[in-house]
């Protein structure tokens, strides 16, 4: 029997993996194993086969390639694919290798070691390990994880909650989805470690409703974990459930998410109090990003010092980037913090797609700043981005080519915020609409002198007075587009 590996990740399936699976379903002596994805989407569907010393891969495989694969013709050693070999994977180390719902394979490759260690430690010691690791939240705000855990742990409450933020609304990001579809036990393990540290007995995974495969895989994984007796800490059951999101970008904001979880419209709450003190049903709640939770098991298993040894001064560990847009090689990249944006686009993204010329790159989703070619030497770390008034966000990197109309792009971002604003605070609710109108007028050739000053003034108000980062950050892509491409805004 020849065993072939093929990803079952949504992106691999979109690239044709299911077509191969159907075509090869009844081939005698061929066993097709559906795995997670390596995240090299430009190579999907990627078929792999075991060989002593490491797997061989057949990128962009087609149904008619099977005879070659069976005859070992035309393959490449996986370890020789530069996109993968040049990464330093920790959280995604098993991706493309294991089956998402095999708890046994997860354990064989080091899974559950972090939880085992956490169970042997006092809550304080777990928090100290997180402190040593210097892990910062990967959902966007980059807040030190241990601080939140400490606050929630120190509260005396009969009920505490742990909530995974799986709303993943930033355009061009998908690493949370890949974790949920590809290694759900890693997320569950991270949540259980957190539950043990803070004393929570209930938790939710607030999963973006546009991720049906992720939600389904998670539900199955929770059933398997339950049957294996995993969903308990020191004999006390920990109930974890999947909750489908409300289909709104702002529901990714932690307090709007909690409102939505409680069954109301996803409207932002004023902070403080922060969720670690008063969150779900006003109880101490840790809301953390999926990637943050998924990073925790290795920290407990390998030690906080191991995590802190990677990266730069203020940004420790690895950063998971999702490189997309007009690059040759779109995909998921996990590397220690510190490489420059140019290196990531060239070395991993493979440079520009054929025929395309670089114009700008947006980092950090729809609230992220735009960088022109002259800004690409910025290192990928929280402090350098903060100094530049930019954000790394959830690691989305979207490259635009020179066919992009920057005025239209700026209008699109303001329109996005106007659509997605929860409406609670005036600067965001009204400001985004007025901002969109100014840009629409410019686009229609009806701009007036002073419009750009008005937009700058409006932006200052939104940044200073909005209740959450949606309104506070919405002006950034617009202002950086105007700053770097002023000619496109003065043509009227």
Residues that bind ligand FMN (CB under 6 A): 137-141, 143, 165, 167-169, 249-250, 252-254, 287-289, 292, 468-470
Q: How far is CA 30 from the centre of its chain?
A: 35
98 versus 459: smaller Cβ distance to ligand FMN: 459
18 versus 210: smaller Cβ distance to ligand FMN: 210
Q: How far is the CB of 445 from ligand FMN (least distance, A)?
A: 32
The DSSP call for residue 274 is: P
Handedness of CA 191, 193, 194, 198 (dihedral sign): positive
Listed in sequence order, the DSSP H helices in 183-322 are 184-198, 212-227, 254-261, 290-302, 304-308
Q: How far is the CB of 492 from ligand FMN (least distance, A)?
A: 31
The DSSP call for residue 346 is: I
CA-wise closest residue to 79 among 103, 61, 100, 53: 53
Number of H helices, E strands in the chain: 21, 16
252 versus 431: smaller Cβ distance to ligand FMN: 252
126 versus 287: smaller Cβ distance to ligand FMN: 287
Handedness of CA 101, 107, 109, 115 (dihedral sign): positive
8 versus 421: smaller Cβ distance to ligand FMN: 421
- CA trace torsion 410, 414, 417, 421 (10° rounding): 170
List the structure tokens of 141. Answer: 């705000």
Q: How far is the CB of 187 from ligand FMN (least distance, A)?
A: 12
Q: How far is the CB of 140 from ligand FMN (least distance, A)?
A: 4
Q: How far is the CB of 184 from ligand FMN (least distance, A)?
A: 17
The upper half-sphere exposure of residue 215, i.e. CA atoms within 13 Å in the direction of its Cβ, equals 15
168 versus 181: smaller Cβ distance to ligand FMN: 168
Q: How far is the CB of 54 from ligand FMN (least distance, A)?
A: 34
Q: How far is the CB of 426 from ligand FMN (least distance, A)?
A: 17
65 versus 181: smaller Cβ distance to ligand FMN: 181
Q: How far is the CB of 176 from ligand FMN (least distance, A)?
A: 7
What per-residue string of b and e applies to 347-372 under the rule 16 or more CB within 10 Å gives b? Answer: bbbbebbeebebbbbbbbbbbbbbbb
CA-wise closest residue to 162 among 187, 131, 129: 187
24 versus 206: smaller Cβ distance to ligand FMN: 206
């Amino acid at each position: 029997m020849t065993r072939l590996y093929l990803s079952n990740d949504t992106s691999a399936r979109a690239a044709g993996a299911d077509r191969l699976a159907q075509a090869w379903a009844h081939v005698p002596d061929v066993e097709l194993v559906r795995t997670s994805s390596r995240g090299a989407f430009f190579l999907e569907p990627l078929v792999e086969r075991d060989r002593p010393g490491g797997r061989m891969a057949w990128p962009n495989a087609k149904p008619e390639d099977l005879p070659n694969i069976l005859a070992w013709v035309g393959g490449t050693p996986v370890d020789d694919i530069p996109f993968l070999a040049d990464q330093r994977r920790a959280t995604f180390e098993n991706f493309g290798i294991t089956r998402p719902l095999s708890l046994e394979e997860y354990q064989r490759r080091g899974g559950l070691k972090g939880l085992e260690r956490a169970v042997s430690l006092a809550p304080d010691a777990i928090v100290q390990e997180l402190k040593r690791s210097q892990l910062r939240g990967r959902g966007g705000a980059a807040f030190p994880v241990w601080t939140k855990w400490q606050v929630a742990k120190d509260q005396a409450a009969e009920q505490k909650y742990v909530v995974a933020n799986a709303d993943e609304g930033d355009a061009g990001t998908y690493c949370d989805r890949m974790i949920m579809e590809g290694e759900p036990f890693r997320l569950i393990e991270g949540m259980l470690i957190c539950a043990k540290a803070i004393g929570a007995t209930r938790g939710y995974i607030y999963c973006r409703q546009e991720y049906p495969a992720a939600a389904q895989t998670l539900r199955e994984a929770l059933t398997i974990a339950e049957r294996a007796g995993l969903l308990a800490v020191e004999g006390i059951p920990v109930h974890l459930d999947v909750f489908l999101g409300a289909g709104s970008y702002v529901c990714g904001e932690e307090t709007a998410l909690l409102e939505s979880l409680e069954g109301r419209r996803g409207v932002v709450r004023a902070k403080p109090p922060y969720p670690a003190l008063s969150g779900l049903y006003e109880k101490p709640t840790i809301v953390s990003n999926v990637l943050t939770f998924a990073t925790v098991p290795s920290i407990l298993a390998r030690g906080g010092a191991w995590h802190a040894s990677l990266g730069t001064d203020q940004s420790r560990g690895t950063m998971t980037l999702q490189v997309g847009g007009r690059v040759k090689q779109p995909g998921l990249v996990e590397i220690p913090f510190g490489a420059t944006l140019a290196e990531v686009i060239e070395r991993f993204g493979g440079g520009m797609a054929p025929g395309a010329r670089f114009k700008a790159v947006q980092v950090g989703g729809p609230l992220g700043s735009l960088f022109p070619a002259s800004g690409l030497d910025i290192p990928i770390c929280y402090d350098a981005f903060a100094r530049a008034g930019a954000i790394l966000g959830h690691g989305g990197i979207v490259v635009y080519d020179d066919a992009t109309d920057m005025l239209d792009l700026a209008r699109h971002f303001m329109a996005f915020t106007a659509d997605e604003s929860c409406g609670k605070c005036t600067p965001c609710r009204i400001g985004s609409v007025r901002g969109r109108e100014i840009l629409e007028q410019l686009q229609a050739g009806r701009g007036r002198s002073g419009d750009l000053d008005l937009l700058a003034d409006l932006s200052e108000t939104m940044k200073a007075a909005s209740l959450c980062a949606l309104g506070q950050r919405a002006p950034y892509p617009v202002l950086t587009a105007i700053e770097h491409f002023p000619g496109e805004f003065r043509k009227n």
